[in-house]
Amino acid sequence: MAHGMRKAGTRFPLQRGDEVRLGWYAIVNISEKHSHLGRDGVGFVVKHSISMIKVQPDAGAGQQIILGLLSMFSLLR
């Protein structure tokens, strides 16, 4: 989902776990690192790093967020 947001240039509100809103951001880069590989090549430890930039919200951006959240929940089924 994050890769799709980066490719589409999706702007989204960022909020910390203590509910402090940090503004609107867009993902510019995602990197992944796998370590402790098993015999089958699957990593036991996977680290993700996401780089973002602060942006101005788009008009109608709230609708994008709602659609993104709904699609995320449909993937959990």
Predicted pLDDT at 66:
67
pTM value > 0.85: no
Alpha carbon separation from 4 to 19, 35, 37 (Å, rounded): 25, 24, 26
The whole-number pLDDT of residue 64 equals 64
C-alpha triplet 49, 72, 36: angle, nearest 5°: 40
Please report, for the chain, the start and end positions of each structural domain, with discontinuous segments joined by +.
2-75
Q: How does pLDDT run across 11-50, given as a tens digit for each residue?
A: 888 899 898 999 999 999 999 988 887 888 777 888 999 9
Q: Nearest to residue 53, comparing CAs of 16, 19, 20, 23?
A: 23
pLDDT value for 26: 94
CA angle 18, 51, 5 (to 5 degrees): 90
